[in-house]
Copies of this chain bind each other. A is one copy, B any other.
């Protein structure tokens, strides 16, 4: 008899993966500490033995991910222990962003600090995908060279685009740029200074949501709404971005708010984008707040999301929109009386997507430091 095993639920735990897991655990324990912890404090927080922690910490220092700070001078009894911290001189992430009216590149170090930031404001539609990506490649190359002159090692790059991206990084459609089926990674890799970098592509609202997650502190679950010419959304659940089965979640701009309403460039009628996109806001659209409130009520009814963050171009309009949105939420969310929904402005403003893109690189290093140690070892 032959057994056909269809889908075992998960992989077995082996010793090699235990080390990788524990390296990440130690690194993130240091990263999430309010003050630089001693090796003993890391051992206490993780439940690992002090000997295990010390060996892992030595590997992380050796690999350029952690540093040991001198103990502060103290007058009490006993010698204070040295504290551990993420290094600001190790691996860094390169974030690149293309949007309808600007290009951006930035470099963020392992501690989350922005070390380089370049922006070019210009309408990207006339140049087409090839022209725009070539210009972005030049900007990104400048950011990388400046970061490396500053002692950083760029570990990889992530590109943010306002469109639907396939798992392989192909931009299937970016309606407001007029792009279809653009192989963005191939075009960026054609820039010699970027050819060797691991490169990912993602939707700009997804990356902006990740950027906001990094700075937001207390909100592990929120919907980030990115108001640009189009409107996108990134859904963060328990600190993780939810992407949908094909990576195409978050198309909040095409939620129907008025079924018999204005025609949209997507072919449907009454889409949110027609009432609360950047162009409608600039024209003083009176239905903007109500339309946003109706669409956001749908999100909360469906997903029980406690926090809504308005970002991108919504920043300057936030105070004007807030009351109208909250009125709809109170009226249309079934659980409005049981649990509050907070609506707030994004903390990162227009930089959220490019910072989230750089941060995505850093996060891969932090989630799997063993892979980084193998790369530099």
* Complex contact A331–B13 (CB within 8 A): no
Contacts of A294 in B (CB 8 A): 256, 259
* Complex contact B245–A306 (CB within 8 A): yes
Nearest CB in chain B to that of A172: its residue:
B338
Nearest CB in chain B to that of A1: its residue:
B80
Contacts of A164 in B (CB 8 A): 334-335, 338
* Complex contact B71–A1 (CB within 8 A): yes
Q: Which of A7, A37, A80, A250 has the most CB of B within 10 A?
A: A7
Interface segment, A40-48, A149-157, A193-201?
Answer: A40-48
Please give the distance in Å from A182's CB to the nearest CB on chain B: 14
Contacts of A339 in B (CB 8 A): 246, 248
Of B3, B22, B304, B333, which is within 8 A of A38 by CB?
Answer: B3
* Complex contact A29–B47 (CB within 8 A): no
* Complex contact A334–B266 (CB within 8 A): yes
* Complex contact B332–A243 (CB within 8 A): no
Nearest CB in chain B to that of A291: its residue:
B259
Give Cα distance in the complex from A83 to B29, angstroms: 45
Contacts of A54 in B (CB 8 A): none
A297 within 8 A of B: yes
A1 and B35 contact, Cβ closer than 8 Å, known pairs A12-B25, A22-B12, A246-B304: yes
Interface size class of A (residues with CB under 8 A): 35 or more
Please give the distance in Å from A369's CB to the nearest CB on chain B: 12
Give Cα distance in the complex from A294 to B261, angstroms: 13
A5 within 8 A of B: yes
A32 and B12 contact, Cβ closer than 8 Å, known pairs A245-B305, A302-B299, A339-B248: no
* Complex contact B9–A24 (CB within 8 A): yes
* Complex contact A29–B41 (CB within 8 A): no
Please give the distance in Å from A303's CB to the nearest CB on chain B: 5
Q: A7-B32, A8-B32, A246-B304 are in contact. List 5 more A-B contacts (CB 8 A).
A: A14-B47, A246-B306, A254-B332, A256-B257, A302-B303
Interface string of A243-267 (1 = CB under 8 A from B): 1111111111011111100000011
Give Cα distance in the complex from A36 to B3, angstroms: 6
30 A-B contacts, Cβ less than 8 Å apart? Answer: A1-B36, A3-B36, A3-B38, A3-B45, A5-B29, A5-B41, A6-B32, A8-B28, A8-B45, A10-B25, A11-B47, A12-B22, A14-B47, A243-B304, A244-B305, A245-B305, A246-B335, A247-B304, A248-B304, A250-B302, A251-B301, A251-B302, A251-B334, A252-B302, A254-B333, A256-B257, A256-B298, A266-B334, A298-B298, A302-B302
